[in-house]
């Protein structure tokens, strides 16, 4: 009996378990809330997370005052709706942004050097 | 100071409009009332708006509701639970379990002294059983929403500005929801394979793989990760000839220990699955009865295939003619998942995603707009439901108390094949690369009494511990019940336990968990039964 007790004491002295009861979990007294990289993030936090940097454009627009808040109340003004909500920027069928997108017969004929010279000299090069 | 005394210009203007007959006389109280009305949204603001009703989103919403927050959860699918409950973890587990039972009854009863008669598969009923499990669980979440006062809006949300989302309601119409805090939890979608168009009939993702109407004669799985191998298991058990094509030299995807991956591949091969590792799919042709895939060795011609018994040269004619092309009735694309944030209107609030489509967040899940947080699959970390759940709770705690906790070093991974594969912490390759001196203890299930009595003794437990401190760095299991057993390892890592702590903890006999204890004993000393 006594021998077992001694053996147990010796064993206990040899080994201290790594799992220890630390008490009830509590919220730390001071927490640093400054943005830092997320633990699972493969890279550092982008610069625009820092408080000193400018906020996003839309938040700036809501706060900025020129002649009233920019664009929020006046529906239909430029910038009041997102580009995406305005739909595709492609021209309608049969419409073109540029003359050079039209079929070849409607395009301007290419200029040659003599024509350019004639325009620049007011036709003098053609006369001489 | 001066500005605060002024009445907002808009309010004055609208007050004039209201009383146009008396433009010069406006009661101050009316101005005050009208000015309040023009900024009335504040009173209707929720404390929290959660976009996405998947595992991350619904857990965040319930937790917020429990903590007394006024919370709205917006989900477009029509049912709660996201990918996990509707088309992911849950339906696949229903099929895995029932297909395993079918396979066992078909092939593994005689040696157990059970004689069965004619065994038939009724795929329709098996699918119905899956759907019953899914609908029961999704409705359960709706009940929990009601119980915890979470408002549930069915529709597609898009940010109008930093404080408002517009919701295209599923039943038609539009609703604006405003909130003091937002959580984006829109999850992920299957990554498509370039050149193969997903039709969910012949070229399928995991969503199609849990809803096939008949057992395909043959199936090729592109990607030997967890999802691919689980689905391969289901259809192989039900009678398909399944071939898995994996670009890398080992199956299991990122994180799986190489030794465990090798052991798993051996076991799965024994079950009838074929593997083509170090092989890439160059393209596919869907014009014929069967889908034809062109394969190429990923390692300079030295293709490591199970079928390859030809000349062994890089220019093997037989391979060029036969093996480098593979036909299948169905091709499952399982090359991974990518974050899903389409249609969220991120451009309206100036939020951007990184090169992998993830929303960038800080340590408290905040985006650069601090009251908008992101959790789950659409941001950093492994795309796992239980990781998303942890983040959901932590994000609410950060909002409520300013302090939350997720240990990314102790997130378990499980592959629900048979036997299951599970791991937590670092694998041997990662520990080696970190330069830490380590020791390994392993124990095979073939030496575990319970596994023997169950006639299910394939696999092993492998434990990695710091050579100096004995602290457990990683645990890797392939074997019966690995998915349940890994919880003990996760707890040990969370607490910073040593292998001796586990080895000296009593484990009931006869249980599979004794293999876990013995692996721990083998790490700091010697296992008794091996």
- Given CB atoms, is B161 within the 8 Å cutoff of chain A? yes
Residue B93, annotated as binding a ligand: yes
Q: Give the pLDDT mean for A3-10.
A: 62
Between B393 and A80, whose confidence is greater? B393
B308 part of the active site: no
- Name every chain A residue with its beta carbon within 8 A of the beta carbon of B406: 39
Residue B345 with chain A: CB contacts under 8 Å = 82, 84
Cβ(B395)–Cβ(B404) below 8 Å: yes
> What pLDDT score was predicted for residue A11?
61
Q: CB contact, 8 Å: B496 with chain A?
A: yes
Q: What is the pLDDT of residues B147-175, one digit of tens each?
A: 999 999 999 999 999 999 999 999 999 99
**pLDDT-derived band at A13, boundaries 50, 70, 90:** low
Tens of pLDDT, residues A89-121: 788 888 888 887 888 888 878 778 888 888 888
Strand, helix or coil for residue B299: coil
pLDDT confidence of residue A71: 47
Query: Is B155 annotated among the ligand-binding residues?
Result: no
Alpha-carbon distance of B81 to B135, in angstroms, equals: 10
Place of tokens 């620049």: A120
Q: Quick one: average pLDDT of B390-394? A: 98
Mean pLDDT in residue range B508-517: 98
Quick one: which of B115, B91, B83 has its CA closest to B189? Answer: B83
Cβ atoms of residues B192 and B331 within 8 Å:
no
B350 at interface of A, judged by CB pairs closer than 8 A: yes
pLDDT tens digit sequence for B5-52: 344 444 444 444 444 443 334 444 444 444 444 443 444 799 999 999
Per-residue CA distances from B294 to A83, B69, B194, B221, B326 (Å): 42, 55, 13, 13, 7
Structure tokens at B242: 């399944």
Give the other-Cβ count within 10 Å of A35's Cβ: 19
Between chains, do A35 and B366 touch, taking CB under 8 Å as contact?
yes
> If you count residue pairs, one on A and one on B, with CB atoms under 8 Å apart, how many are there?
93
CA distance A126 to A117: 9
User: Is A51's Cβ below 8 Å from some Cβ in B?
Assistant: no
Rounded to an integer, what distance in angstroms lies between the CA atom of residue B111 and that of residue B81? 41
In this predicted structure, what is the pLDDT of residue A20?
A: 80
Q: Does A36 touch chain B (CB under 8 A)?
A: yes
Tell me the CB-side half-sphere exposure of residue A87, using CA atoms within 13 A. 3
Cα of B523 to nearest chain A Cα, Å? 15
Nearest CA among B472, B479, B381 for reference residue B427: B472
Contact B350 A57 (CB under 8 A): yes
Mutation choice for B interface testing from A38, A54, A75, A86 by most B CBs within 10 A: A38
Nearest CA in chain A to B353: A46
Q: What are the two backbone dihedrals, phi and then psi, of residue B306, each rounded to the nearest 5 degrees?
A: -75, -25
Beta-strand runs (E) in B241-289? 241-245, 274-277, 279-285
B161, B402, B500 member nearest A31 (Cβ): B402
State whether residue A5 sits within 8 Å of chain B by CB: no
Does the beta-carbon distance from B498 to A45 stay under 8 Å?
no
Cis peptide before B419 (omega within 30 of 0): yes
Nearest residue to B210 (alpha-carbon basis) of B99, B289, B121: B99
Q: How many residues does chain A have?
A: 128
Q: Is the dihedral of CA A99, A101, A103, A107 positive or negative?
A: positive
The helix (run of H) or strand (run of E) holding residue B99 is: helix B89-107
CA-to-CA dists, residue A2 to A9, A16, B131, B280, angstroms: 11, 22, 64, 69
For residues B339-356, give the mean pLDDT.
94
- Look up the pTM and report it: 0.77
Arithmetic mean of pLDDT, B311-324:
48
For the sheet with B413-415, list strands across it: B413-415, B420-425, B472-479, B460-466, B438-444
Q: B518 near B528, Cβ under 8 Å?
A: yes
CA nearest neighbour of B515 among B498, B525, B503: B503
Share the mean pLDDT of chain B. 89
Contact B50, B181 (CB under 8 A): no
The question of ipTM being above 0.85 is answered as no
Answer yes or no: do A68 and B361 touch at CB < 8 A: no
- The stretches of A15-112 forming alpha helices (DSSP H) are 57-63
Indicate the pLDDT class of residue B499, thresholds 50, 70 and 90: very high
Contact A18 B362 (CB under 8 A): no
Are B206 and B334 within 8 A, CB to CB? yes
Q: Which of chain B's residues have a Cβ under 8 Å away from the Cβ of A73?
A: 10
Q: Does B13 touch chain A (CB under 8 A)?
A: no
Give the span between the Cα atoms of B375 and B344, in whole angstroms.
15
Which of these ranges, A75-84, B154-163, B235-244, has the smallest mean pLDDT? Answer: A75-84
Position B318 scores a pLDDT of 47
């Amino acid at each position: 009996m006594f021998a077992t007790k001694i053996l147990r004491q010796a064993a206990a002295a040899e080994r201290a378990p790594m799992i220890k009861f630390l008490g009830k979990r509590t919220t730390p007294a001071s927490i640093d809330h400054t943005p830092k990289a997320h633990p699972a993030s493969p890279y550092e936090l982008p610069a625009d997370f820092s408080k000193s940097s400018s906020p996003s454009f839309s938040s700036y627009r809501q706060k900025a005052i020129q002649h009233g808040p920019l664009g929020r109340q006046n529906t239909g003004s430029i910038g009041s709706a997102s580009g995406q909500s305005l739909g595709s920027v492609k021209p309608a069928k049969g419409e073109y942004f540029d003359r050079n997108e039209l079929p070849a017969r409607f395009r301007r004929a290419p200029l040659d050097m003599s024509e350019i010279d004639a325009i620049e000299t007011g036709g003098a090069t053609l006369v001489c | 100071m001066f500005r605060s005394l002024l009445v907002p210009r808009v309010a004055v203007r609208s007050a004039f409009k209201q009383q146009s007959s008396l433009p010069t006389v406006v009661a101050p109280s009316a101005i005050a009332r009208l000015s309040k009305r023009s900024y009335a949204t504040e009173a209707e603001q929720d404390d929290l708006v959660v976009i996405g009703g998947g595992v991350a989103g619904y857990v965040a919403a319930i937790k917020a509701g429990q903590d007394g927050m006024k919370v709205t959860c917006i989900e477009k699918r029509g049912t709660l639970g996201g990918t996990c409950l509707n088309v992911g973890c849950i339906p696949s587990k229903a099929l895995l379990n029932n297909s395993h039972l079918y396979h066992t009854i078909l092939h593994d009863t005689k040696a157990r002294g059970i004689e069965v008669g004619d065994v038939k598969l009724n795929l329709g009923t098996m699918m119905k059983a899956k759907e019953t499990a899914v609908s029961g669980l999704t409705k359960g979440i709706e009940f929990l929403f009601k119980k915890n006062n979470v408002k549930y809006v069915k529709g597609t949300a898009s940010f109008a500005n930093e404080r408002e989302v517009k919701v295209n309601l599923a039943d038609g119409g539009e609703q604006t929801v405003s909130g003091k805090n937002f959580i984006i939890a829109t999850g992920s979608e299957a990554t498509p394979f370039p050149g193969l168009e997903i039709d969910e009939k012949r070229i399928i993702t995991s969503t199609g793989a849990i809803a096939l109407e008949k057992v395909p004669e043959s199936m090729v799985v592109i990607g030997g990760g967890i999802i691919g191998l689980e689905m391969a298991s289901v259809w192989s058990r039900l009678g398909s000839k399944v071939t898995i094509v994996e670009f890398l030299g080992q199956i299991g995807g990122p994180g799986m220990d190489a030794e465990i991956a090798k052991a798993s591949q051996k076991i799965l091969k024994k079950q009838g699955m074929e593997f083509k590792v170090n092989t890439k799919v160059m393209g596919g042709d869907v014009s014929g009865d069967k889908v034809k895939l062109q394969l190429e060795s990923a390692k300079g011609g030295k293709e490591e295939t199970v079928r390859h018994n030809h000349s062994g040269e890089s220019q093997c004619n037989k391979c060029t003619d036969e093996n480098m092309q593979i036909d299948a009735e169905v091709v499952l694309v399982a090359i991974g998942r990518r974050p899903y944030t389409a249609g969220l209107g991120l451009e309206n609030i100036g939020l951007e995603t990184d090169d992998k489509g993830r929303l960038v967040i800080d340590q408290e899940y905040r985006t650069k707009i601090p009251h908008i947080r992101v959790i789950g699959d659409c941001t950093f970390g492994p795309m796992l439901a239980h990781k998303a759940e942890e983040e959901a709770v932590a994000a609410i705690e950060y909002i409520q108390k300013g302090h939350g906790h997720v240990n990314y070093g102790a997130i378990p991974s499980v592959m629900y094949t048979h036997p299951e594969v599970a791991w937590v912490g670092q694998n041997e390759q990662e520990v080696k690369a970190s330069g830490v001196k380590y020791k390994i203890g392993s124990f095979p299930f073939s030496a575990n009494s319970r596994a023997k009595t169950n006639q299910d003794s394939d696999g092993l437990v492998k434990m990695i511990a710091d050579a100096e401190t004995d602290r457990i760095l990683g645990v890797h299991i392939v074997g019966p019940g690995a998915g349940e057993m890994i919880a003990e390892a996760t707890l040990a890592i969370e607490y910073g336990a040593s292998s001796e702590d586990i080895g000296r903890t009593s484990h009931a006999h006869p249980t599979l968990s004794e293999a876990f204890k013995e692996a721990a004993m083998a790490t700091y000393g010697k296992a008794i039964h091996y």
